[in-house]
Amino acid sequence: MRWIIGNWKMNGTRAEARQRTRELLRALPPLPEGLHVAVCPPYTSLGATAEVLTPPLELGAQDVSWQDSGAFTGEVSAPMLRDAGCGLCVVGHSERRQLLGESDGMVAQKLRALWRHGLLPVLCVGETLAEREQGRTEEVLRMQLLAALEGSSPADLLVAYEPVWAIGTGRPAHAADSARGLGVLRQALDAVWGADGAGVPCLYGGSVSAANCAPFWTEGRADGALLGGASLDAQAFAAIVRSAAEVRP
């Protein structure tokens, strides 16, 4: 299975979300079997997006609480995301790990909350530039993945390799970096989940654009992409989906 997912991050009003969703739906090509496309608007635009979203486009969120309900000011739970129409949710994005103190332990609990309520987690992992320069990329990727999945049973999951140094910089990783990082993650999935780990789609994310996406599907060994900036432009988003749709895995 392959996925192209747009993470809109903290951008836009409800009206903009409706307009972008309508435009994306008009621009999307017919999807081949096994290729999925989703958008992850900010919480405030989930409802507006759900109003206009139709198949094949799917709806996701950008974060979730590890608790189901209660006195957790500002948090949104997995049952609430389901109620809002979400089928998937990003977890452990590096912006949350780096800027908001999200730990491996919190990420692991959030995964479990999503699984409890039948939502598909999109687990983000990736090394910083300093870690890369210290030659620690493989160790960091393995540690983040193993910490998130420790003690879990095989379940529905997507993993996104997002090198922190490639996010929002306009300088994506090379396809070879993607292939290496995704190889490490696939090995780690095999170590924890055995044969079930082999079925987990592994995506690349970080400055993916319509112009640079094609090598990620082939040399980059990516089962799709997690888009940031490019997903705010419906035409660019659709062009990336078209590129993925042309590749038969």
Footprint on this chain of ligand 13P (rule: CB under 6 A): 7, 93, 162, 167-168, 205-208, 226-230
Question: Smaller CB distance to ligand 13P: residue 208 or 245?
Answer: 208
Question: Smaller CB distance to ligand 13P: residue 89 or 227?
Answer: 227
Give the C-alpha separation, 21 to 244, whole Å. 19
In the complex, minimum distance from the CB of residue 64 to ligand 13P, in angstroms, rounded to a whole number: 15
Q: 93 catalytic, yes or no?
A: yes
In the complex, minimum distance from the CB of residue 132 to ligand 13P, in angstroms, rounded to a whole number: 16
Which of 58, 102, 127, 162 is catalytic? The answer is: 162
Question: Smaller CB distance to ligand 13P: residue 193 or 226?
Answer: 226
For ligand 13P, the nearest residue by Cβ is 228
Give the ranges where the chain is alpha helix by DSSP (H): 14-27, 46-52, 78-83, 94-99, 104-116, 129-133, 137-149, 175-193, 214-217, 234-246
In the complex, minimum distance from the CB of residue 162 to ligand 13P, in angstroms, rounded to a whole number: 5
Give the C-alpha separation, 3 to 77, whole Å. 24
Q: Which of the residues are catalytic?
A: 93, 162
